[in-house]
Structure 1
Amino acid sequence: MLCPLLYNRLKFIVLLLSALLAGTAGAETLLKRNVAYGNDEEQRFDVYAPPQAKGAPVILMVHGGGWQFGDKEMRRVVENKLARWVPKGFVFIAVNYRLLPKIGPLDQARDVARALAMAQELAASWGAERSKFILMGHSAGAHLVALLAARPELAAEQGASPWLGSILLDSGALDVPAIMGSRHLPLYDRAFGKDPAYWHAVSPFQQLSRPSSALLAVCSSQRQHACPEARRFVDKASQLGTRAAVLTQDLSHGEINQKLGEESDYTAAVEAFMRGLDKRVAQALK
């Protein structure tokens, strides 16, 4: 077996080669790897930025993996998104966070908030604008982003400033009590345990009680409960005064993540939402 240090170096080399082939590294992209936002080795993020960026908008991406697996360097997390948005002038940040069983989803959301706060603090050094962040997450990562959108005080407590909007890529959980009260996969028991009070505390639907930054919930029509759950969440957000929408896609749970950034109607629809967030974002997406 490879030692962890050699394994990580090999992963990094593979990532760089993939990015070069995609036209998103080398001369076109500045890569800062493993920027620390905490003391734990998992509290790290990678930064990809176009050269000579100035006032650039930022996409901060949170990977999925059932709250216990996943990594910021996975190809399906970064490749197509980098190829699409860094050449358009976006800074792209991919975040790791502490995983189960080390901590649970509530503290994972705090990790994402802490990463956001650190990225906002350092944004100017990458040519980015701290007020122009878009949060994006897939699966478990989308749940964490949705929880921060529903409970923005969690982000504020970690020093983060408000962000432009949140893009939820087929969230793993929006109504946690409903999931736990019905037949569900064992991964939810590992993530949320047996305490109904905790279910409520980490459930974006239950925590949503006031207007938030804009929301786009992408859902897979191939998953039975994904789109009805997304519509309920978006309907509640809209009733509270949030600009919120559902984007249904006939793609698998994994494809919702992997294919975003490809030239497609799906990517175009996500970008249409992004344009409405800010003039600078709209200018970059012309």
Structure 2
Amino acid sequence: MRNLPVFFGCALAASALAQVGVTTPAAYRGVMTVVDGVYVTPIPNIPMTATVDISSMRILPDGTQELRKTLNEIARDSRGRIYNERRAMVPVTFEGKSSLQSAHIFDPQTRQSVFLNPHTHLAREMTLPDAGNRPVSESGIPPAPHGAAVEDLGQSNLAGVNVHGVRYTIQIAGIASGTGKPLQIKDEYWYSDQLRLNMMVVHDDPRTGQQIVMIKQVSQREPDSKLFQVPEGYRVVDETPVQTAPPSREAAPRGSVAPVGTTPF
């Protein structure tokens, strides 16, 4: 069993709201200006805290490389509640912890999702509809994209956790690459059945650069319960959509104008 290099660098995104209730991590979307980080599955009885190390090498229009990094904190308690933060991407020469941009708290038992904005001290709260009984996948590694070559990387160990890796390689013809030359896009996933997380994801596209998202400094002890509470000084705004019954077809008399969003009788 080989060991992955410890220097490889692994939050929150708007898509997390749509992913809540999913029992395995979503497919990685590639190099972006705003980095999503890692999706923490809201599964009970697997408590953990960890640091997510994100490093990004982006190719600028003039051909030079922009190297950036950040460190995010994630946590999950025995109830399945999750905490996931996103901090600013900063130059690799930056020392210390970068500024907090946002944080996400979710409780799978109450279906309450809260997004914290440290700049406005707003806590946007929403109770999500029941996701129902979704099947639990045996692996968090997403299925291979159409036409991708699949390489099983076998078992390894990352941050003291056993992981299984797979690499997907997509061949892009020169006529479709935008560069006039053929190229390869590679995505690498290292998934832990023990933690039910993608411990490392590597995306490599010669046109845009490389990004590495890696979980490290993992502790499987119960995290501080304060992480899953709205901090003092925040104003809570309930954004749960109002559930309304569909309008009755008999509500509007014949010949009248039906309310917007309804079908005339």
Report the structure number with the largest CA radius of gyration: 2
Q: Which band: TM-score by shorter chain? A: under 0.3
Higher relative contact order (CA 8 A, sep 6+): 2
| Higher strand content, 1 or 2 | 2
**TM, length-normalised to structure 2:** 0.24
